[in-house]
Amino acid sequence: MIESRHADIAIIGAGPAGMAAAVRLAEAGVHPVLFDLNATPGGQIYRQLGNPQVGAGVMGEEYQHGRSLVEAFARADIDYRPLSRVWWIGRKGTGYDLGVVQHRAQSWHAERLILASGAMERGWPFPGWQLPGVMTAGAAQILLKQGALLPGVSPVLAGSGPLLYLLAWQYLQAGQPPALVLDLASASRYRALLRQPRRAWHGRNYLLKGVRMIAALRRAGVPVLLGVDGIQAEGREAVERVRYRHRGHWKTLPAALLLTHFGVVPEPQLARSLAIPHRWETGQQAFLPERSEVLAVEERLWVAGDGGGIGGAINAEREGRLAALEVLQSLAGKAQDGLARERAALQRARRRDLEARRLLETLFRLPGDWLEVQPEDTLVCRCESVSRGEVERAITQGAAGPNQLKAFTRCGMGPCQGRQCGESVARLLAHRTAQSMDAIGYYHIRPPVHSVTLGELAAQQET
């Protein structure tokens, strides 16, 4: 029997939320253990910022903003464990047992846990999205951050959300502008915006930034098409053509690389594997774990950052700090007078920020009927190659929920464990059975939430 290692506090994720939580705890003399998948800290936004591969002029201010946090994280006394996959969590006593693979398997017990596992890009089916040559905008940005890698061909960018425009702008700065930007957000969004002048005012900084980026792209001669409502990738061994529908007409364009982005949603696996209740949030168009005002989901479990709902990097950092304050209070066993003002200020700023984000949600809202109008043979589940038609037939034959559907079609049974298809399946079920997303729910997620090899498990590390 291998004994498990003990930690008073464990944090999962070294993005802005996890880093800020760890730094704040270390300031108070408490030393958490922190597990993260990547080789260096930073999470999604600040990836590779400790050893940047591209200059500030290309990446923009938001990337640079993380510098002080990454530096504070490097200085603080934290048991930071990079390249560590947390592959299961279970409740044990008043705390949590964790299965971790860091080269070899380890087991841990943590008295208190902060989940800061962040977000992922939304899986959003369209014909040909499984072809080599289709990648997400986030993936392309990871190549830029990790190794200053630029595409050797002019890419087509398509989708909706700030990250799409950020990447287009970064490619422009790097001297590799995209061939074309196709904006697939709902056509009704400007009308929706006009109905919400107060919201527009709160989010004016976001608006301004977006307008500036689009203007810079257009000045450089990059066509930005709004109101595109269909996209397809075609080719045999890889993408050869991109088709898109604009103003009711399909157009075809030779292209080898299509970079897509359809917004980000919380990375669901760890919270789902603990069966934490979730609810569908219509603004974000995503299932979010239910958290209290102080980010608690259980007495000794907090969810901080984009893993609890999309608020962006600055908000994630704040939420990390807020979770740290809650942990400190929980350790002390009573309210800490000295922390009350800090907490109130963080909460005020958080509310203001989240209010401003609502504008982005309106602006980048994806069309709600997207899936139903995709051709029948469009893959919904990439891992098991299950098409929309097959999913719909299983629903007609009586598959009543996501888990039955999985058993009927193998949808969601592959190695990604439904990360790419979970939302689509729930949407199709909700549409077909005329129920709410909450009534439909989501797959039951069981460990391992990350693949572990038998070799890794066999090589259990001595404690």
Q: Which residues bind ligand FAD (CB under 6 A)?
A: 12-18, 35-38, 43-45, 62, 84-86, 116-121, 138, 141, 163, 166, 264, 267, 270, 305-307, 312-313, 316, 449-450
From the list ligand FAD, another protein, none, partner contacted by residue 54 (C-beta under 5 to 8 A by kind):
another protein
Tokens of residue 24, six digits: 């704040």
Please give the torsion angle defined by the CA atoms of residues 61, 62, 65 and 67, in that order, rounded to the nearest 10 degrees.
-100
Instruction: Please state the separation of Cα 188 from the chain's center in Å.
Output: 25
Query: Does the protein bind another protein through residue 151 (CB under 8 A)?
Result: yes
CB atoms within 10 A of CB 223: 11
Stretch that binds another protein, among 69-77, 187-195, 352-360, 446-454 (CB under 8 A): 446-454
| DSSP alpha helix (H) spans, 223-339 | 269-273, 313-332
Closer by beta carbon to another protein, 30 or else 383: 383
What span, in angstroms and rounded, lies between the C-alpha atoms of 55 and 72?
Answer: 21
Name the minimum Å distance from CB 109 to another protein. Answer: 25
d(CA 181, CA 225): 6
- The closest of 205, 262, 317, 196 to 427, measured between CA atoms, is 262
Closest contact distance (angstroms) between CB of 141 and ligand FAD is 6
Among the listed ranges 168-176, 218-226, 242-250, 435-443, the one in contact with another protein (CB under 8 A) is: 168-176
Site string for another protein, 173-212 (x = CB under 8 A): -xxx------------------------------------
Asked if residue 314 lies in contact with residue 305, where contact means CB atoms within 8 angstroms, the answer is no
Task: Return the number of the residue (12 or 222) whose C-beta is nearest ligand FAD.
Answer: 12
10 or 239: CB nearest ligand FAD: 10
Rounded least distance, CB 220 to ligand FAD, Å: 20
CB–CB of 229/106 below 8 Å?
no
Three-state DSSP state, 250 = strand
- In the set 28, 72, 76, 142, which binds another protein (CB under 8 A)? 142
Query: Binds 313, which of another protein, ligand FAD, none (CB < 5 to 8 A, cut-off by type)?
Result: ligand FAD
User: In whole angstroms, how close is the CB of 300 to ligand FAD at the nearest point?
Assistant: 19
90 binds another protein (CB under 8 A): no
Residue pair 14/42 in contact (Cβ under 8 Å)? The answer is yes
* Shortest spacing between CB 261 and ligand FAD, in angstroms: 9
79 binds, among another protein, ligand FAD, none (CB under 5 to 8 A by kind): none
Non-local (6+) Cβ contacts of 412 within 8 A are 381, 384, 402, 405, 406, 418, 421, 422, 425, 443
Pick from 25, 88, 136, 387 the residue near another protein by CB under 8 A: 136
Contact in structure between 97 and 117 (CB atoms under 8 Å): no
Name which of 184 and 379 has its Cβ closer to another protein: 379
Q: Identify the burial level of 94 via C-beta atoms within 10 angstroms of its C-beta, where 0-12 means exposed, 13-18 middle and 19 or more buried.
A: exposed
User: Which SS3 state, helix, strand or coil, does residue 101 take?
Assistant: strand
Task: Specify the residue, 110 or 163, whose C-beta has the smaller distance to ligand FAD.
Answer: 163
Torsion 317-42-14-157 (CA) sign: positive
> Residue 453: which of ligand FAD, another protein, none does it interact with, CB under 5 to 8 A by kind?
another protein
Per CB under 8 A, does 254 bind another protein? Answer: no
Indicate the burial class of 266 (C-beta count within 10 angstroms; 0-12, 13-18, 19 or more): buried
In the complex, least distance from residue 19 CB atom to ligand FAD, rounded to whole angstroms:
7
> Interface with another protein by CB under 8 A: which range of 1-9, 172-180, 295-303, 403-411?
172-180
Structural contact between residues 124 and 371, judged by C-beta atoms closer than 8 angstroms: no
Provide the binding-site residues for another protein, judged by CB under 8 A. 37-39, 44, 48, 51-55, 58, 83, 85, 120-121, 123, 129-136, 138-139, 142-144, 146-153, 174-176, 237-238, 257, 267, 382-383, 385, 414-416, 419-420, 450-451, 453, 455
